[in-house]
Amino acid sequence: MNGTGISNSWKIALLAAGGFLIGTSELVVAGILDVIAADLQVSVAVAGQLVTVFALVIAVGAPLLVALTSRMERKKLLIYTLVVFILGNFIAFISSGIELMMLSRVVLAMSMGVYLVVSLAVAAHLSAPGKQGRAIAAVIMGFSTSLVLGVPIGRLIASYTDWRYIFAGIGLLAIPTLIAIAKAVPVIAGQASVPFSRQLALFKEIRITSGLLATLFWILGYSVVFTYISPYLIKVVQLEQSQVSLGIFVFGLFSIAGARLGGYGTDKWGVPRTLLIGLFVHAAILLLLAFLAKSLVGAFLLLIVWALSAWSTVAVQQFYLITLAPRASDLMLSLNNSILQLGMAFGAAIGGFTVNLFSEKHIGWVGAVSVLIAFFAAGFSLWLSRRERPGTTDISLAD
């Protein structure tokens, strides 16, 4: 504890609560994509580009914003970010067409890009030595909890009233979260600004580049399927609307378990085993999705294993990249987040292309191929890292 009288565990929990709201604002769109499309009078594929735009803004804007705010005190930056987040939800609430909704996604994406990086770095800073993996996983669990509660509740709200009330509720809930973080999180100094030329120097390290490629192809394969999971469950598995909400709830519930498993595995079993097993199972499940998701029970079993394997990767990958450049942890997290969002953008676009050209039932094997590429990229990066001499794994970006 410090002068606030609040334990670091509770402070990390507050960061996770902010992650829950921000995660809901991003992920709920996939859960109500068909509802938004019908209300705004656009196709499902066009509505799916709300996911693409969100991801592209984070991919391009997050590194710039993180670099510009790198010297800013961390708590102050978290507060400013949540204020922008509240504004973005208000824009979504008043949107009457696809254009204003796109603007909302841009504003929300900018706030999420900074919040994710800063909250993960602050959580690692607050954690005890040897427990950084679990601290990072705790914040990520906040995001994954949005799948358990935020997305299915959003789907339920959209079934009975205007879907815009979802964003109004998120914005209102963000206000007490902002106040709590402002009171509880201690003052933490920012990191030294890193010139853009030195940021690019990171990509000269093949183990970092291949590690980031693992992130790209992992999330791309995930996004191909998850962006269109509601139409998939309705058209291919032929579930009822209530069963779709239940399916998303089950997926989210086990995504929390997956995030926790990934954090525990990082600290207990090590990065290589946790990362590679998670990726391999993820690829196998997406491949099976195209063949075995023919019934309610079969679909739910696949959703459970998919959630466990996919979300176990998040914490271990974040931790692994930090170990490659601990003196530039904010930058590494920002780059990884940008790659994540870029993969989500491409995944949503490729998923839309697959749905338009073929049908929803083909998205599973497309995602599986992408995750399998991620498996080999991660293995290559880990192999290169193991060859490095002790003490050479940090990349100094200082002048």
> 302, 172 in Cβ contact below 8 A?
no
From residue 146, alpha-carbon distances to 45, 141, 210, 390 in Å are 23, 9, 30, 39
Q: If you write DSSP's letter for every residue of 298-328 in order, what string do you get?
A: HHHHHHHHHHHHHHHHHHHHHHHHHHH-GGG
Q: Is the pLDDT of residue 329 over 60?
A: yes
pLDDT reported for residue 67: 74
User: pLDDT, tens digit, for every residue of 42-96?
Assistant: 887 788 788 888 878 877 787 778 778 777 887 889 999 999 999 999 999 999 8
Computed over every residue of the chain, the mean pLDDT equals 82
| Measured CA angle at 115 (ends 303, 74), to 5 deg | 145
Which residues, other chains included, contact 320 with Cβ-Cβ below 8 Å and sequence gap of 6+?
A: 211, 271, 275, 382
Which residues, other chains included, contact 270 with Cβ-Cβ below 8 Å and sequence gap of 6+?
A: none
pLDDT reported for residue 100: 93
Three-state DSSP class for residue 180: helix
Three-state DSSP class for residue 32: coil
Could you tell me the pTM of the whole model?
A: 0.71
**How many Å is the maximal CA-CA distance in the chain?**
60
Amino acid symbol at 89: N
Q: Is the pLDDT of residue 13 over 90?
A: no
pLDDT reported for residue 238: 77
Amino acid symbol at 126: L
Rounded to the nearest 10°, the torsion over CA 284, 364, 350, 116 is -60
Q: Is the pLDDT of residue 295 over 60?
A: yes
Q: Is the pLDDT of residue 397 over 70?
A: no
How far is residue 82's CA from residue 10's CA, in Å, rounded to a whole number?
19
User: pLDDT, tens digit, for every residue of 131-174?
Assistant: 776 777 778 778 767 766 787 788 888 888 899 999 999 999 99
User: pLDDT, tens digit, for every residue of 176-230?
Assistant: 999 998 888 777 765 555 555 666 666 778 888 898 999 999 999 998 988 888 7
